[in-house]
Structure 1
Amino acid sequence: MKQFEEIKTLLGESNTYYLIAVDMNANYSYLNKHYAEIFEPIHGNLVGKHYAITMHHDDQQTCKVVSQMAFMYPESIFPATLRKHDGSGGYIVTRWEYKAMFDSLGAPSGIFCIGHDITELLKISGELHQAKEENAHAVRLHVANIMGLGKIIQESTDAKDTRDAAKMLVQSAVDLDDVIRSLYK
């Protein structure tokens, strides 16, 4: 418990991190200022309420398993990603680290968790992945055209076919250059 008190001193007023404690009955026993500011307007005063009130139903099993692991291995910290109700029908995606708490006699007394909102990070990550896929396709399209036209030029015996392929090759290179320039804008 002393360990948790030190962390409360450090993160109790945090504007970035959530810090919560849950007792052995799975009820909130502590919330830092940031967690209270975000989730109490949605659910009311949470101290004394079951932890599951704030989260997506499907994530409750994750909490249970991670909590069990924290008690089985009390020297370790265990991560979990959980969706919390945002009050508008959607979810705030949060990332947590769980640590078991024990009283002065060594008996389990609860779990404390440090977490933060990763919703925006996941959104941006998804957008970057989509942009990467789209850009890779756009670049590969022109590279494939250039390679194919180069093969036609290599194998061509007709000067007109070679000139036509060369014109298309130049156009594909211009198109590829446009794609590359748009990537840097």
Structure 2
Amino acid sequence: MNNDSLNTSSESSTPGDIQSEDNYYRSIIENNSFYVIRTDLEGNYSYMNPFFCQQFRLKPADWIGRPSIDLIIPADHQACIETVQQCFMTPGQSHWVILRKPHHSGIVSTQWEFKVVSDDAGIPLHLLCIGHDITSLVMRQQELQTLVEVTADQNKKLLNFTYIISHNIRSHVANIIGIIELNDGGSPEEKEMGWTMMKKSIAGLDTTIHNLNDVINIQTNLNLPIKKVYIREEIEKIIESIRVLFEKDNTTISYDFDEPEFLFTNPAYLESIILNLLTNALKYKSTNRALEIKLAMYTEKQYQVLVFTDNGIGIDLDQNRDKVFGMYKTFHGNADAKGMGLFIIKNQIEALAGKIEIESEVDKFTTFKVFFPLQTE
């Protein structure tokens, strides 16, 4: 495959036959829609078919004798080298590789068949490479992968949305039912107080529904709506919505940050995360002491960190660290435990490009650190 004739004939062929066969094979090589190149044993070009030169706007005179790797983007050099090494380890056997090449229209993806050609004595002569453009196929695969990722993301949002409906709204409704039950047969003053609590709880339910509506409105978008939320105000609003549960357990809540502290985040997810942490602390409180919850905030690198500590029964992390945030994982045998709360928290904070960490000691404390990415509205 050079400027000389391609000797593909047998010894018994006549000169006319040889010339005819030579022209036939040269026509196939030089006029098909495949790239055909040949390199010497050092990897330098010794032949380029016209189609390859035409597609990449190359002049053979400029490239014959130059390293073939120069027409491959650097990120794919190692893949090319490893494929060539495989060819020399198994002469006569084909090896396939996908290589990206610079093109006047950008970067194109090409698939190649490499094969070492040897003489009759088995001594390698050169490397034969036949390739074709697969850019459109790669682009379709990338589009399919993007579609899969979008679908997975939408499924996560659906899971979060379903959980917020079943957990957050149910918490508000349970609080309202509790207030109604306490008001039955109460004095006028108690009923007036109950009515005040009822209005606050209904207002909290209304806010939850509005936040969910924001989530619904962006289900066709990868980005969740981000708003400025004053963190202490939000926590106190959530506590107010389930105050009946806290007052029943004589819970103390303290804050180690200034009241104006705020986050730019998704309100629906933030409410779900805080509500889960609060109800989780109530569910796993110690029977030997009153429940204490401490909240703090600080900035660490690109995150604002919400620290949530309770003095409950704790979790044995030596046994369960890898399971803590798993779906349907429970650790204390509570009849009402579903193993979804911490899984959803992790899912939601990761959807916000954040993370969550846990520290705990059995029968002493549990601390959750929720990392919210620093961002603006």
Q: TM-score interval w.r.t. the shorter chain?
A: 0.5 to 0.7
1:76 aligns to what?
93
- Contact 1:26–1:50 (CA under 8 A) maintained in structure 2: yes
> AA paired with 1:13?
N
- Contact 1:79–1:98 (CA under 8 A) maintained in structure 2: yes
The ranges of structure 1 where at least 4 consecutive aligned residues each deviate by more than 6 angstroms after the TM superposition are 5-9, 159-162
Q: In the comparison of the two structures, how many residue pairs are matched?
A: 172
Within the candidate set 109, 112, 122, 1:106 is matched to 122
Cα distance 1:58–1:136, how it changes in 2: closer, same or farther (>3 A)?
closer
How does 1:13-52 map onto structure 2 within 5 Å? 13-15=31-33, 17-39=34-56, 41-42=57-58, 44-45=60-61, 46-52=63-69
1:149 aligns to what?
165
Q: Quote the offset at 1:12 in angstroms.
A: 4.1
- Contact 1:54–1:85 (CA under 8 A) maintained in structure 2: yes
Within the candidate set 123, 140, 159, 2:156 is matched to 140
- Contact 1:27–1:47 (CA under 8 A) maintained in structure 2: yes
Matched residue SS, 1:111: strand
Q: Quote the offset at 1:28 in angstroms.
A: 2.3
Structure 2-normalised TM-score?
A: 0.37
- Contact 2:92–2:118 (CA under 8 A) maintained in structure 1: no
- Structure 1: gaps spanning 5 or more residues: 180-185
1:56 aligns to what?
73
Does 2:103 match 1:91?
no
> Which structure is larger by alpha-carbon Rg, 1 or 2?
2
Bigger relative CO (Cα 8 Å, ≥ 6 apart):
1
1:128 aligns to what?
144
1:115-166 Cα distance to aligned partner (Å, 9 max, x none) = 222333333333332333233323431342123323456674447989x79x
More helix by share: 1
Q: Quote the offset at 1:61 in angstroms.
A: 4.3
Does 2:94 match 1:117?
no
> AA paired with 2:141?
S
Cα distance 1:44–1:11, how it changes in 2: closer, same or farther (>3 A)?
closer
CA RMSD of aligned residues (A): 4.0
Matched residue SS, 2:31: coil
1:3-41 Cα distance to aligned partner (Å, 9 max, x none) = xx99876554222x32222123433233333212112x2
Matched residue SS, 2:101: strand
Matched residue SS, 2:138: helix
Q: Quote the offset at 1:94 in angstroms.
A: 1.9
Alpha-carbon distance in structure 2 between the residues aligned to 1:19 and 1:69: 19
